[in-house]
Structure 1
């Protein structure tokens, strides 16, 4: 999965499986946010500190 995917979280369908799907979607979004935050921190660390 590349970090250039849309930032909108997937909308789970309203059904009996809603809780499980929303939890999986939240885990996916959280993992992507952690990955984006880590890449931003690495890019910021490469900048010279004056």
Structure 2
């Protein structure tokens, strides 16, 4: 999962390389997988942050 994510270095302990994150609902029609918490995701890509 991790090789395609440009933000994998922001997740502690190399978690992106060892575990697939849970599927998160971003909107009614959009899902994503990310180990970053909601606050960190909002800083990196505000249009994808859970609202």
Structure number having the greater helix percentage: 1
Structure number having the greater strand percentage: 2
TM-score computed with the length of structure 2 as normaliser: 0.22
TM-score computed with the length of structure 1 as normaliser: 0.22
Work out which structure has the larger RCO, using CA pairs closer than 8 Å and 6 or more positions apart in sequence: 1
Q: Larger radius of gyration, structure 1 or 2?
A: 1
